[in-house]
Amino acid sequence: MDTRIFERFSEFIKSELGIKMPASKKTLLEARLQKRLRELCLSTHEEYCEYLFSPQGMEDELVNLVDVVTTNTTDFFREPKHFELLAAKVLPDLFARRGPGRKVNVWSAGCSSGEEPYTLSMVLCEYARHNPGFLFSILATDISTQVLRHAVKAIYPETKIGPIPQEFRKNYLLRSKDRARNLVRIGPEARNHVRFRRLNFMEEFSFDGQLDVIFCRNVVIYFDRATQERLFMRFCRKLAVGGYLFIGHSESLAGMNLPLEPVAPTVYKRI
């Protein structure tokens, strides 16, 4: 890939998606674009660049570029202490302050293939079982249409369910009738609380209402520091006073001027 072509991709990816694409990522981008070149019957990255930035490319190909440059690594109950804190402290606090019948609104921001929002739903369903009147809904968003299609199906290989507690498997998972396929599906009790939408963090948050809990974990590490702070401030504007923000353990809010107070490592409360 010609350096000039790479720089054009890099500038566009940074401005449109917020994702850093330094020169050290040139070889990675070249490799990831090879599949798109083959599928489009294009010979060079320059031809792909010309197509992408054409009116038709912007309409038809941009979603595929997003899938190429985004990283989608996730698991059920990833960073499990977050879910322990959610069940033991956050939900009781919200329920005590909101009272029965007032819905708790949760956002899984950067939900990838769905493991995080379905984990949240299982935890909240379990809390609701023991606390009549507790109501909740979960919004799950990602910029990649490819992973969202997978998330909506809610079907996963059995090899993925190891971190899910046995009791949760019993209550919230369905096994395939064809056991040879080794697949499970999230059951309707947990699945029906989650709605999925495509969202680019660089665009306006096109949904109404205040949120009680935001999970945005291992997402902003791909943004520069200034972009991270702007994004977290926008999260704070959507987070109700007394609501909670969970970030990834590889991320930090140190030095950022945000209306948040620490509750636990990588967990913050809106003030």
Residues classed as catalytic = 32, 142
Query: Using alpha carbons only, how large is the chain's radius of gyration in Å?
Result: 20
User: Which residue type, as a one-letter code, is found at position 206?
Assistant: S
At 208 the three-state DSSP class reads coil
Question: Are the C-beta atoms of residues 42 and 52 closer than 8 Å to each other?
Answer: no
Dihedral of CA 153/158/164/168: which sign?
positive
Question: Are the C-beta atoms of residues 183 and 156 closer than 8 Å to each other?
Answer: yes
Distance CA 227, CA 18 (A): 7
Query: Which residue reads 């939408």 in tokens?
Result: 197
Which ranges constitute the DSSP H helices of the chain? 3-17, 26-39, 45-52, 55-60, 62-69, 80-85, 91-98, 115-130, 145-153, 166-172, 188-191, 225-238
Burial of 257 (0-12, 13-18, 19+ CB in 10 A): exposed
Query: Measured in whole angstroms, how far is the alpha carbon of residue 91 from the centre of its chain?
Result: 21
CA atoms within 13 A on the CB side of 187: 11
